[in-house]
Structure 1
Amino acid sequence: MRHLTTRRATGGLAALLVGALLPLLPGAAPALAADPCLSEAQPTDPLLGLPTGPGCDDTVPPTTSILTSRPAVVGGWIRTTSIAIDFQGEHPDADADPIAYECQFYDSPAAPTSWSPCTSPVRYDDLDERGATPYTFRVRAVDATDDAHDLTTDPFFPADADLPDYDQTPAELVFRADATTPSTFGFLRTTYYDQDQQATPMVTATSVQVTLQSDEGDDQQPARYRCRLDGRAVACADGLATLRGLKPGPQRFTAAAVDPAGNVDPTPYVQSFFVPRNLTAGDVVRSSKADWRRVRLSSAFAGDYLQSSTYGATAAFPVRNVREIRLLAPAGPRLGRVQVRIGHAAWTTVNLASAKAEALHVYQLRDQFSPLRSGLLQVRVASRGKLVRVDAVSAR
């Protein structure tokens, strides 16, 4: 009996020890929360098939996303009058109900109140171009099974509320359509009107500006421009091209408008022009180095001109296949004369004297119908005791 008592005591002691240690052991995992309502279908009697209780309200609708559009919307525009849009929906939980879709497509300031069934992809054709109001496409995913069952109208177990079974934050795509390429117009800003060479006018400065316009774009979304000068890209995106440091000779400027949708004018605006050669100290012949002086003047062709009062002082440079010659020089009272020729041809005399002073005057010595000539083009002082000033020569 004592032995038995001892064993019982020992067993009781063990039980006490276990009981004392239980609070020190890691806690057991809490019971899992009840699964959320995934379907609003009511429980039914397995034999009769009649509802045995109310259905739960699935409060988690599917989510919606737009995958792609063809063509892609870039900057709020498409460059066609048709679009196809791919979209999808998915349940954010373990819901296995099928998903349906409802869409809206409109170009009015306010969204319509109705939705139409749709499937992915959806396509829209014959879109109006450059409308005042952009097109809006909206799509929402719908839990098809739950949406077909309104808990509040159940004849056996009506519920007080049934939350919407569609995505209340629809996916949205907003865009305008424009499939028409723009046209580009330009204006060469110059104070000299070249009536003889209107297709390729001569300019009277080494820096000129070209103003550009297009038949597309507005103040909110203006057209942009892409420009090139003799094949080299130049800045003009805002519609004004300032061409500086122009080299002598023919120049070709092109500009293509780019409308807000990204359409590019396939027939760019073209403006050709001719830049005279600025006369510098480098053109003075060796025997006349001491006779010419460079004078800086902002209104001169390239910011300076050559000046001399020494009879016979000469500046020269080679030319090839030239018909037309124009001399750009200041005019004014008490100025002298210069002579110009190519090679060994006869000299043409130019009188720079004028009652009214001009910072830059254009003297035409040969026109575009004159015979071709090549050789050394020479400009020499032809008066004695009078100052002459020469600025630039256009030879083409």
Structure 2
Amino acid sequence: MPHRTHALVATVLVLGQGVLTPGAVSTSAPSQPEAPTGVTAAAGEQRATVAWVPPAAGTVPPPETRITRGPRPRGVVPRRSSRFTWASTPEGLPTRCTLDRRAVPCEDGELRLSGLGPGTHGFTVAARDPDGGEDPSPAARFWTVPLDDRHLDVGSGWRRGRQPAAYRGTLLRATRRGATLSTPGIDVRALALVASVGPRAGSVTAFLGGRRLGEFDLQAPSRRTRRVIPLASFAGVHNGRIRVVVRSRGKPVVVDGLAVETWFVAPRQTD
């Protein structure tokens, strides 16, 4: 019978935060118990002592973080609250969170936000491992809370009203062609109207400074409130006075608010 050679495969195994590497190999079982210098594994009829070797710097990958629930990236949310959940790899790591570049406490993989003001908000979350390593590219989400209709400059032809289903309970209504809503000059990256739609609704024209953004029809098969109607999105920041002008005549135009994306940094945004 040919002689069989037993060898220990020199594959490096990464377990947790350490590395297993082959150690001394003996051709027979030891007559005396060995000191627990590592993990002892059988290899055929031989026994091999495998020693624990700390990983070299940079060989252990940093943790990763992903957002599993939250507002749609760069979306408009017509309410003052939002909820976030996230996960990490490895699982269950502690995290560091920020809201609008300020640290906020976050535990148990969930954060509920309330009382958010109008404008663009940014949330980031980064997992941290037990050795202090942190996800170098935190998961991020940016979204915009609309400016309420009560904060718009209102020209003639508009009537204020209240409705429980409206954004923050109030709205503006006009049927007269040329009735105008506006804001002072502001930095804009994206713009959307929060309005009611329906089968008899009218239409508007939107402007940023002297630039005409387009005509927008609010007609829809059924009546719905707090609809987000995108008006414009830009590659960079534009500054100017925003105007929304009623284009139709004798048809109702009902406005809840105006969503203005005011700033945006483009890191890794995750779903």
Quickly name the TM-score band, shorter chain normalised: 0.5 to 0.7
Does 2:57 correspond to 1:182? no
- What corresponds to 2:169 in structure 1? 304
Aligned with residue 143 of structure 2, among 254, 274, 279? 274
Q: Which amino acid aligns with 1:236?
A: C
- What corresponds to 1:46 in structure 2? none
How many pairs does the alignment contain?
214
- What corresponds to 2:243 in structure 1? 378
Work out whether residues 234 and 241 of structure 1, in 8 Å CA contact, stay in contact via their aligned partners in 2: no
Q: Which amino acid aligns with 1:328?
A: V
Runs ≥4 residues deviating over 4 A: 79-82, 104-108
What value does the CA root-mean-square deviation take over the aligned residues? 3.6
Work out whether residues 184 and 265 of structure 1, in 8 Å CA contact, stay in contact via their aligned partners in 2: no
Q: Which amino acid aligns with 2:75?
A: M
Offset of residue 379 of structure 1: 1.9
Work out whether residues 146 and 194 of structure 2, in 8 Å CA contact, stay in contact via their aligned partners in 1: no
CA distance in 1, matches of 2:181, 2:255: 10
Closer/same/farther in 2, CA of residues 258 and 125 from structure 1, 3 Å limit: same
Three-state SS of the structure 2 residue aligned to 1:391 is strand
CA distance in 1, matches of 2:37, 2:170: 67
Closer/same/farther in 2, CA of residues 313 and 231 from structure 1, 3 Å limit: same
Closer/same/farther in 2, CA of residues 180 and 107 from structure 1, 3 Å limit: farther
Work out whether residues 305 and 390 of structure 1, in 8 Å CA contact, stay in contact via their aligned partners in 2: no
Offset of residue 335 of structure 1: 1.9
- What corresponds to 2:25 in structure 1? none
Work out whether residues 314 and 379 of structure 1, in 8 Å CA contact, stay in contact via their aligned partners in 2: yes
Work out whether residues 62 and 136 of structure 2, in 8 Å CA contact, stay in contact via their aligned partners in 1: no
Higher relative contact order (CA 8 A, sep 6+): 2
Q: Which amino acid aligns with 1:353?
A: Q
Does 2:88 correspond to 1:223? no
Residue deviations 1:234-260, cap 9 Å, x none? 23211112233333444332212234x
- What corresponds to 1:212 in structure 2? 86
- What corresponds to 1:149 in structure 2? none
Unaligned runs of 5+ in 2: 1-15, 20-34, 40-50, 262-271
Closer/same/farther in 2, CA of residues 182 and 348 from structure 1, 3 Å limit: closer
> Counting helix residues as a fraction of each chain, which structure ranks higher?
1
Closer/same/farther in 2, CA of residues 361 and 236 from structure 1, 3 Å limit: same
Closer/same/farther in 2, CA of residues 107 and 263 from structure 1, 3 Å limit: farther
Offset of residue 359 of structure 1: 3.0
- What corresponds to 2:112 in structure 1? 242
Unaligned runs of 5+ in 1: 1-78, 83-103, 109-123, 129-178, 193-199
CA distance in 2, matches of 1:282, 1:364: 19
Three-state SS of the structure 1 residue aligned to 2:75 is coil
> Counting strand residues as a fraction of each chain, which structure ranks higher?
2
Does 2:196 correspond to 1:326? no
Q: What TM-score do you get using the length of structure 1 for normalisation? A: 0.45
Question: Identity of paired residues, percent?
Answer: 28
Residue deviations 1:97-141, cap 9 Å, x none? xxxxxxx96999xxxxxxxxxxxxxxx95379xxxxxxxxxxxxx
Residue deviations 1:349-378, cap 9 Å, x none? 322121123333332333325x97533211
Per mean C-alpha deviation after superposition, the further-off stretch among 318-327 and 233-242 is 318-327
Q: Which amino acid aligns with 2:201?
A: L
